[in-house]
Amino acid sequence: MNETIKLALVDDEQLILEGVKMLLSSDKQIKVTFTANDGAGFLKMLEESSPEDFPDIVLSDIQMLPMDGFELVEILKNLYPDLKIIILSSHYKTSVFGHMIKLGVSAFLPKNSDKKTFLEAIKSVHSKGVYLSEEDLKMLATFKNNVVKQKSLFTIEDELSEREKDVVQLICQEFTNKEIAEKLFISPRTVESHRQRIIEKLGVKNSIGIVIYAIIHDIFAVDIRL
């Protein structure tokens, strides 16, 4: 039996909240544990929540008052670094997408996405930590040969070593630290040290940034249909 995915919804439009909740209600694997109309209210809910109800994933809008989605994501990443975040917004463009990557968001969905895309994204983020649509991959292709755009995403402190690139490739293939250690004949502690050093070198928040860097710099190949 598939593990239940606990989901929180944050949007200042009640109709959107109710619509998304209804859209997801037919999937027995997904349980909406919280809905909130603003970031501050949602943070209070999390603070008071029980471990059984604490969400695995937050699905949040960007444009909200008084706290917008960008500010909410930054606070959530500081307070709950393991909490996965999916941004839902009508402002689906490269500049916003890049900012979300820097903040460590797991997925970015346009508000006009269909039910199939919603379910795919939620389940992919839950199992893999990231969801990249074909449109996302097309956006990433625009960064490949554009140094200025690349610098907007990454603050490279130092080039990755060959060993670090090996670790990056295996992270992209969703191997655990233990599995990476076995493949590279090193200890899990050494893998964790490599992972942290890679994050520091790239100036990213988490493994999502590592995956994006690897795709843009051809360390890990994906099929981008232009």
pLDDT tens across 1-47, in order? 578 999 999 999 999 899 999 989 989 999 999 999 999 999 999 99
What's the pLDDT tens digit per position in 121-170? 999 999 888 898 888 888 888 887 788 877 777 777 678 999 999 999 99
Report the C-alpha gap between 126 and 24 in whole angstroms.
Answer: 15
Report the C-alpha gap between 172 and 63 in whole angstroms.
Answer: 31
Q: Is 52 helix (H, G, I), strand (E, B) or coil?
A: coil
Report the C-alpha gap between 221 and 141 in whole angstroms.
Answer: 12
- Residue 108: strand pairing partners: 87
Q: Where are the beta strands (DSSP E) in the chain?
A: 5-10, 30-36, 57-61, 84-89, 107-110
Q: What percent of the chain has pLDDT over 90?
A: 50
Neighbours of 123 (CB within 10 A): 17
Q: Is 5 helix (H, G, I), strand (E, B) or coil?
A: strand
185 has a pLDDT exceeding 90: yes
Report the C-alpha gap between 142 and 67 in whole angstroms.
Answer: 31
CB 139 within 8 A of CB 94: yes
Q: Which residue has better confidence, 206 or 184?
A: 184
Q: Scanning the structure block, which residue is given the tokens 């059984």?
A: 52
Instruction: List, in order, residues 6 or more apart from 17 with CB less than 8 Å away.
Output: 9, 11, 35, 37
What's the pLDDT tens digit per position in 45-77? 999 999 898 999 999 998 888 888 889 999 999
Report the C-alpha gap between 207 and 182 in whole angstroms.
Answer: 19
Give the CA-trace dihedral at 19, 25, 31, 33, to 10 degrees: 40
Report the C-alpha gap between 126 and 152 in whole angstroms.
Answer: 27
Record the pTM: 0.84
In order of their start, the domains of the chain are: 5-131 (3.40.50.2300), 145-216 (1.10.10.10)
What pLDDT score does 94 carry? 64
